[in-house]
Structure 1
């Protein structure tokens, strides 16, 4: 798509960022094409090995930034360390978290839980934490329910798992809304009760709606790239533009390069914990 469709809106928009005529691109097109165009044309920031998509999920304390949600399905533990640095800077700069709390998605909160991949990520982050090299607070392993119930600012996972998680949450929210509406319309008495609680329902819908975020930043590329949903509403596009503006104004990318330079080369797991 990038090679053959040079005059597509996506390619032209990314080219405008590359030449400096624009600071950011917001795309509601194909996610894979958006990632490819931004990565190939804009290139990666200094010190970044893989770009990652960050998606915001609402929780009790604001939002939880889940990364990666689709850019890199075959990630390595050291890639997730890079995601942690980038997403923590987003949480700090845009969402006002001075010391973001970062966890690794696993099937249990105990240190020994998880696959070789998640255990490797845990070990690398623990090693860097002991060296005092992390610009965030590492809280260890976190489970799915922690994303909504506890103050987790960044949850780390590979692009395959993150994309499945994201789409499952979206489908669950839609199904719950549909079932609730059906039950409330089942008889006149319930409809009267629903009318009395209409304000609460509107507030809950706004809180759960992805429109309030607008789109998911692709962190790690030069320039700001926001990937919006293909079915985005005008409100969602407006908020995606707002987030892109905030990322430019807060200097997210320069902060990423600064922190990645301070962190240095991220080691392989075998270099830190040889078998």
Structure 2
């Protein structure tokens, strides 16, 4: 296969395999150099591929008899999941046949399988899921992580998330010096849990190293994800996933409320007619499908998690993201950044080399 090769879990997701194939076809129309290794139920996939000749010519179909259920526990799929379409998709990346894997399947199972199959990159204890959020940045987006790979995160994890996120932002946003912030309950240095304060101190120190090329802006609040004042927002997986679902719900609520308001009277419907071009741009701007695709950062291989309920448009966005990051070799660049930060150059009065300053016990709790 020539061009960028992506390994696809064709059976993962609420609408699979129809939404998966629809997304691949849409992505291929915009990026004709893409090639796909498709893993799944051959009896279901082969007839669907015959209906779309252009897509079929760019696909290698590989049978995978089993599927990871959306409610399956990670421990269960690890024991007996090697015949699933999800595992086979990851296996192709591990074996160097594809540059990235894409799946809309069970998030917990995908992370567990990815860790087992691809392993964490050197220096990474816990991988993170990075997701794009609409913002006022020049790129139109900011990056937030972790979005749910692990509900826990200590100071070392948060620092690694920041370093990985900064490298991602350099590629995705073409930002030579990404602005990184730690999500907190306030911007004051006295606020926050001990691990957040420790991570903030270490990021401030690391940001003084010009070779790492990122700017630490300090603590930020949730509204800063959209403000355009920061490129990368770092938090633990519990907080990040909760914030993400809240934002998706708010976007849906706003969209439905506007639709209802403009349909209320004949006068409002007339106003909607004249405002239609602007409303269409607004709808696209807040449409979560346009930014679909969470990136598993910190693995020895590139994995993109599509939303489980993704339709063809959303799945195509995840595929396009995978192709972009594969072309830029983001995985290797992130690993190099983590290695560089793990042994920063010594400076007079600097603490010992290593990612984290030994924690200090502070008087009192967080405010």
TM-score range, shorter chain: over 0.9
Match of 1:95 among 151, 157, 173: 173
Which aligned segments of 4 or more residues in structure 1 are displaced greater than 6 angstroms? none
Q: Does 1:214 align with 2:292?
A: yes
Q: Does 1:19 align with 2:102?
A: no
| TM superposition score normalised by structure 2 | 0.71
2: CA distance between counterparts of 1:89 and 1:188? 51
Match of 1:110 among 165, 185, 188: 188
Query: Where does residue 239 of structure 1 map in the other structure?
Result: 317
The Cα offsets for residues 148-171 of structure 1, whole Å up to 9 and x where unpaired, read as 123311000000000000000001
Q: What is the Cα deviation at residue 144 of structure 1?
A: 1.3
Query: Where does residue 133 of structure 2 map in the other structure?
Result: 57
The Cα offsets for residues 100-125 of structure 1, whole Å up to 9 and x where unpaired, read as 00000011112222222322221221
Q: What is the Cα deviation at residue 131 of structure 1?
A: 5.4
Query: How big is the alpha-carbon RMSD for the aligned residues of Structure 1 and Structure 2?
Result: 1.6
DSSP 3-state at the match of 2:78: coil
Query: Where does residue 108 of structure 2 map in the other structure?
Result: 32
Match of 1:248 among 318, 321, 326: 326
| TM superposition score normalised by structure 1 | 0.94
Between 208-217 and 19-28, the greater mean CA deviation after superposition? 208-217
Q: Does 1:165 align with 2:243?
A: yes
Q: Note if contact 1:52-1:67 (Cα within 8 Å) is conserved in structure 2.
A: yes
Query: Where does residue 9 of structure 1 map in the other structure?
Result: 85
2: CA distance between counterparts of 1:273 and 1:134? 25
1: CA distance between counterparts of 2:226 and 2:307? 22
Aligned length: 274
Q: What is the Cα deviation at residue 175 of structure 1?
A: 1.1
DSSP 3-state at the match of 2:218: strand
* Structure 1 unaligned regions, length at least 5: none
**1:134-149 matches, cutoff 5 A:** 134-149=212-227
Q: Note if contact 1:133-1:263 (Cα within 8 Å) is conserved in structure 2.
A: no
Q: Does 1:43 align with 2:96?
A: no
The structure, 1 or 2, with the larger RCO (C-alpha pairs under 8 Å, 6+ apart) is 1
Q: Note if contact 1:6-1:12 (Cα within 8 Å) is conserved in structure 2.
A: yes
Q: What is the Cα deviation at residue 235 of structure 1?
A: 1.6
DSSP 3-state at the match of 2:331: helix
